[in-house]
Structure 1
Amino acid sequence: MDWRVFAQEMASMARDLLAQDSVETTLERITSSATRLVEGCDAAGVLLLHGTRVESLAATHDLVVQSDRLQERLEEGPCFDAARAGSGSGAQDRVFRIADVTAEQTRWPAYAAGAGDLGLGSMMGFLLYTEDEEFGALNLYAKRPGSFSQDSETAGWLLASHAAVAVSSARSHAQMEQAMATRHTIGEAMGILMGSHNLSEKQAFDVLRRYSQEKNVKLREVARLVCEKGGLA
């Protein structure tokens, strides 16, 4: 692997990632880059784990989704384990690798057999995490056994670490935008109540808060209802 070229590509990807306008497009940029930057990688995707339910994101090939579904059904596999490893694990527990699915008989025998039937030869899973949270796993697949070298694993690690920071930034930006939109909606709803019922700012907010508590509805949804209907029934 030409690490100079790899470093240049990573720098270019860093600039592109910062320009993405959503978490989804960020993930798509990450997985498409993985197939281009990591030697031996034929397909890539991000797996999120909700309990034992799997969510597949930004898959570059249908094989990725099929593999995720197989791991969900069996509750085993390198990507499944990477996603649930947790950032408190040691570094050796944050990457899972199958060099040859036909020879994997110890860790994930049922999954390895099914992966072979799908046409997969080798794979790696990297936990996506920062100090504060885990996002899931970046998973790389190859159709040929033995496709991933130590250099491939190192490159995958670098990409996964970079991707985790990028996803964290994208999610924080999305959360900030949602918070600002919610604040605007609540302010607009308070203005409607103040004008229609001659209430003070505090009284209008208390009306929204009480309705939210009594109806067990989120405050932002109550505010949206007021904005759409001009008041509360």
Structure 2
Amino acid sequence: MAAVSNAAESRLVSAYGRLFSLLAESPEVDVFLDQVVHVAAEVVTPAVACGLTMRRDGGAFTVASSADLAARADEIQYGADEGPCLEALRHGKVVEVTDLRADERWPRYREHALEHGIAGSLSLPMTVDGETVGALNLYATHRGAFTDTARRHALAFTAQGAAALTVILRQADQALLHQQLTDAMTSRSVIDQALGVLMGQQRCTASEAFALLRQASQHRNRKLREVAAEIITQVSGESPQPAPGFISPRQHS
């Protein structure tokens, strides 16, 4: 028994290492989630399959699954609008099904899940910045599959997975912010160049030049930047040059 326990602990430690190796590789979010469910199914050994349910637009959908069984079990719950993974997602609590045949909590889900051979499950909420954003769903094909050790490992792995997901989502937000700032700087640069052209041509102030540019934008039903780019191209014979990319203080230091 000690050897089995030590082997399980070793798998859990290895799983942590794999999660944070993924972080170092800066993967796409969907790649990371796909790895999470496959590693979870390996770490929590009674589980036959693992799925990850996440919120979107007020609903729930499966973003990754280690096997078809998990995907089917999740879909049954979405169709029935009830089940352990939805319970975990909606209430932010761990939901265990020891013996689905004897469990009467979700009758519409239970009937179809039993037909697919599901006998038990363990659903664990994933929390990011204090909000439950998903639920990790582990499915088993025999009763009483999840021992105390299995539950402990599932809880530990889910906590580490949520921590890693938090980092990745923050990185994604930063990347989006960086792109938005770069786009804004590029637009501003093009508009400023066009204003300079108009000021020279019309011998007017910057405010007057901007009013002319805005009037042309409204009259043509075109974006301000597009009209500005046309003016620069007409005068120079070349498309406007992009502004240098935005560099955050962290990158600059």
TM-score (norm 1): 0.78
Which whole-Å CA distance do the structure 1 matches of 2:31 and 2:57 have between them? 25
Deviations 1:57-115 (A, max 9, x none): 111112222222211121111100111114xxxxxxx110111211112x222212211
Which whole-Å CA distance do the structure 2 matches of 1:98 and 1:132 have between them? 25
Unaligned runs of 5+ in 2: 200-205, 232-253
- Corresponding residue SS for 1:159: helix
Q: Please report the RMSD computed on the Cα atoms of aligned residues, expressed in angstroms.
A: 3.0
| Structure 2 residue identity aligned to 1:230 | A
In structure 2, relative to structure 1, the CA distance for the partners of 1:229 and 1:67 (3 Å cut) is farther
Deviations 1:177-215 (A, max 9, x none): 010011001110111111123289x97xx99xx9xxx9x
In structure 2, relative to structure 1, the CA distance for the partners of 1:189 and 1:153 (3 Å cut) is same
Structure number with bigger Rg: 2
Query: Is residue 127 of structure 1 aligned with residue 125 of structure 2?
Result: yes
Shift of 1:52: 5.8
Unaligned runs of 5+ in 1: 87-93, 215-221
Contact 1:101 1:113 (8 Å CA) reproduced? no
Deviations 1:15-34 (A, max 9, x none): 32323412112211211111
Give the aligned partner of residue 95 of structure 1.
Answer: 94
| Structure 2 residue identity aligned to 1:196 | A
- Corresponding residue SS for 1:134: strand
Shift of 1:231: 6.3
Identical residues among aligned pairs (%): 22
- Corresponding residue SS for 1:58: strand
| Structure 1 residue identity aligned to 2:64 | A
Query: Is residue 8 of structure 1 aligned with residue 6 of structure 2?
Result: no
- Corresponding residue SS for 2:65: coil
Contact 1:46 1:59 (8 Å CA) reproduced? yes
1:42-57 aligned at under 5 Å gives the runs 42-50=48-56, 53-57=59-63
Shift of 1:117: 1.2
Give the aligned partner of residue 17 of structure 1.
Answer: 22
Work out which structure has the larger RCO, using CA pairs closer than 8 Å and 6 or more positions apart in sequence.
Answer: 1
Give the aligned partner of residue 68 of structure 2.
Answer: 62
Shift of 1:47: 0.4
